[in-house]
A and B are shown apart, each in its own frame.
Chain A
């Protein structure tokens, strides 16, 4: 008890000294200092809020060879120029979508990022996920069945990523190369992916409570997985990169990045 009272006395002495010191400073300086402090804190807070709500980044991801780079250039320039090869680095650009160039008025540009799909470059995706507002997952509808397992593993990793689950980032499952005759339909692809993800769910969440591979699990316990079970919205579309038929992707982008 004595100690506490001693402490109280010491604290009071210090506070008296502090107040005396403050009263010595001319008021103008004091107000100026406080004003600057408030201003900086307000600015910092507003920047942080602004970055979170107004992110206009859309990620193009998918397996290697699915057509992401072609899609990127179609959205940007309206043509895929002379062709593409396997990307070694991401393609980034902030621009107004090509089809909207004709529209008058100030349209907000979209920051589009094409992340390479090669498995060795997978860590690059994690760099971009925190800033994403929407994700387009491109799937090759022509060579779908040989790559089905790898594609669904990739999609499963994205859907269980912490950023995606917490911010409920919407995902568009985009079936590319639909101009070819033997390409599968989007319904078929959707069913196959749901089946594969169901198997993955079963094999990965078998026993361990701390599954280091994935941050979260998706779907409802006891029911077969379906994309409607995801907390973030998952939709399906068909496109053709070579033909330039990308209208469904553009609608998706515009739905989440208001012009």
Chain B
């Protein structure tokens, strides 16, 4: 049963809601759909889940309308897509920009809905007739207790109705859950007729089908396998806590013990050399960025020169269309332009699946739109993509760190930042850069050396601390990082530091015990900012890194609301000339804004992300 069907303009005014099913929706699913899906350029997806509801939508790009259908997630209504298309077509005939209420549409909608439901039933009947045998073997399965999928699993002959329904749901191999309360009601009549047949076939062919049943089992097994995967991953044998030292042939065995060279000198940087604090001038965070002054028209002309290989006939018709400007954009028209755009994005080091999703989203927003006169299809697509990219890269929340630091200072507690990331991306170096920048803004900083694994990590931070003349809290090697961080924060509260920067060891996203240690650190200390450090050189792996980090942090969190990655620090930005796609992949997959960009190896090489420049470079 549909919960609600809405029609609204892109500007936000609701034009029509279905008054028959006037159920009030729990929460605000429509607003959440807009904020987390449509504005995040995920409009190419099939559906959106919110609480107990699933939402499906379609656009009418020419008139600027959005059609959204809301229904219960556990139901599995096959006719919703159909219904949305039909509603779209008939509403666009009635639509008038000046009219604000469409009461006469109620009647039309009722007809359309009955039509769509009837069509849906027919499809189901066809499916049932085609494969009555498959449903039979499910008797065996229904008896088995399944992980919460089927509640009424009586498994006797009278349950023939359930079997058939279960069969239908396993056929449509998807992400939908198996409970079909709705189907019960709709299919009640037909099942009573088919029941006898099923039971009759049952007994005789049961044995034959059990052997064939392996393929069908796969459908239901999917739901179970997800659960079992989780179990198996946790059953992995725990890795050894300490590494055994490698024995080379020619090394004398005595020299193996003294590998821990931490001096037993006091922690505050030593009294031997009083170094002057490193002052290398203003950090680039505070400098204005000088943008290149190329004009937009030059780019257009260059690009038009680069495409002589288009077929003559195609070129002529597109020119003709661009002059008259009356054609509605179809998928087939958009495909070549979008494909070219996707290739261009991938040459700029954007991850492949991100480029794919983006192109789908732009396609969804352009389909059916009228071409303005004197514009080519490619320039329309380019414009839409540019807007979409600016929207993704613009942060969703404010990234004013200074303001957050001041807010924490008022509450008399230090502002804690944790740097996480895989090996070798530049966490310690960029931590020092951030400390330098904060120091320039008269904020007192303290470093916490929670990388207790890599040789030399503590000394590295100690050197930075000495050069910047800021306190550092360290406990040497082979200590629990979570405990070190906790003590560091307590120390900072005691001596009144405004900010604590916590350095962690690099870890691969697949390394289960290390990820567990990381989430323990974050759960125990509840930092204000979890900063993921990623290098700009990374390609498709960015997607994997970020999604796995986020997933592990949310899976292994102990309290109710899990802390995910709050911000991204993009490093080694000076090494890529124009292949800036990693920024886009990371922001898209995690939703976190890019807070800093590291563009060099000295203290001043830290700047903010310039959204317009990046978008220009990506689309050049």
Contact = CB atoms under 8 A, between A and B. Distances in A.
Contacts of B406: 199, 202-203
A213 B610 CA distance: 11
A137 interface: no
B600 to A, nearest CB: 18
A171 B191 CA distance: 68
B16 interface: yes
Contact of A84 (B14, B38, B40): B14
Contact of A85 (B12, B40, B440): B12
Interface in A68-93: 69, 73, 77, 81-91
Interface string B427-443: 00000000000001110
B13 A81 contact: yes
B134 interface: no
A85 B34 contact: yes
Interface string A18-62: 000000000000000000000000000000000000000000000
Interface stretch (B116-124, B254-262, B391-399): B391-399
B442 A206 contact: yes
A210 interface: yes
Residue of B14, B407, B608 most packed against chain A (CB within 10 A): B14
A73 B9 CA distance: 13
Contacts of A91: 11-13
A228 interface: no
A84 B402 contact: no
A82 B30 contact: no
Interface in A116-148: 116, 118-123
B11 A119 contact: no
A153 B17 CA distance: 36
Contacts of B16: 82
A242 B588 CA distance: 37
Nearest to B102: A82
Nearest to A210: B288
B442 A119 contact: no
Given A120-B394, A123-B394, A199-B406, A86 B608 contact: no
B38 A119 contact: no
Interface string B13-26: 11111000000000
B56 to A, nearest CB: 16
A150 interface: yes
Contacts of A89: 10-11, 64
B301 interface: no
Contacts of A212: 286-289, 608
B391 A210 contact: no
B100 interface: yes
B109 interface: no
A69 B12 contact: yes
B612 to A, nearest CB: 8
A210 B442 contact: no
B184 interface: no
B394 A81 contact: no
A203 to B, nearest CB: 4
Given A81-B100, A90-B11, A200-B403, A118 B440 contact: no
Contact of A82 (B14, B403, B441): B14
A122 B397 CA distance: 11
Contacts of B286: 207-208, 210-212
A204 interface: yes
A119 B441 contact: no
A145 to B, nearest CB: 14
A88 B40 CA distance: 11
Contacts, number: 114
A122 B13 contact: no
Contacts of A65: 31
B127 interface: no
A114 interface: yes
B398 A206 contact: no
Most central of A65, A69, A120, A200 by chain B CB within 10 Å: A120
A149 B40 CA distance: 23
B326 interface: no
B442 A84 contact: no
Q: Which of A84, A122, A153, A210 has the most CB of B within 10 A?
A: A84
B390 interface: yes
Residue of B34, B38, B40, B407 with highest tally of chain A CB at under 10 A: B34
Interface in B33-60: 34-35, 38-40
Nearest to B282: A208
A204 B402 contact: yes
B8 interface: yes
B192 interface: no
Contacts of A211: 286
Contact of A207 (B398, B442, B608): B442
B11 A87 contact: yes
Contacts of B12: 69, 84-88, 91, 116
B11 A69 contact: yes
A99 to B, nearest CB: 18
Contacts of B10: 87-89
Contacts of A207: 286, 440-442
Contacts of B38: 88
Given A86-B34, A200-B403, A206-B402, A119 B289 contact: no
Contacts of B400: 153, 203-204, 213
B14 A85 contact: yes
B149 interface: no
B101 interface: yes
B431 to A, nearest CB: 20
B48 to A, nearest CB: 14
A64 B391 CA distance: 15
A203 B286 CA distance: 13
Contacts of B396: 119-120
A72 to B, nearest CB: 8
B282 A73 contact: no
A209 to B, nearest CB: 8
A116 B39 CA distance: 12
A81 B103 CA distance: 12
Contacts of A86: 12, 30-31, 34-35
Contacts of A206: 402, 441-442
B498 to A, nearest CB: 12
Nearest to A92: B11
A119 B395 contact: yes
B371 to A, nearest CB: 19
A87 to B, nearest CB: 3
A40 B119 CA distance: 66
A153 to B, nearest CB: 6
Interface in A181-210: 199-200, 202-204, 206-208, 210
Nearest to A157: B398
A85 to B, nearest CB: 5
A89 B59 CA distance: 14
What 5 A-B pairs come out closest when comparing CB atoms?
A87-B12, A208-B286, A91-B11, A203-B402, A69-B12
26 contacts: A64-B35, A82-B15, A84-B13, A85-B30, A86-B35, A89-B10, A91-B11, A114-B11, A119-B395, A119-B396, A120-B40, A120-B391, A123-B394, A150-B397, A153-B400, A153-B403, A199-B406, A203-B405, A204-B400, A206-B442, A207-B441, A208-B286, A210-B288, A212-B286, A212-B288, A212-B608
Given A149-B403, A212-B287, A212-B608, 16 more contacts: A82-B16, A83-B14, A85-B30, A86-B35, A88-B34, A89-B64, A118-B39, A119-B395, A119-B397, A120-B40, A120-B396, A150-B397, A150-B398, A153-B403, A206-B402, A207-B441
Interface of B: 6, 8, 10-17, 30-31, 34-35, 38-40, 64, 100-101, 282, 286-289, 390-392, 394-398, 400, 402-403, 405-407, 440-442, 608, 611
Interface of A: 64-65, 69, 73, 77, 81-91, 114, 116, 118-123, 149-150, 153, 199-200, 202-204, 206-208, 210-213
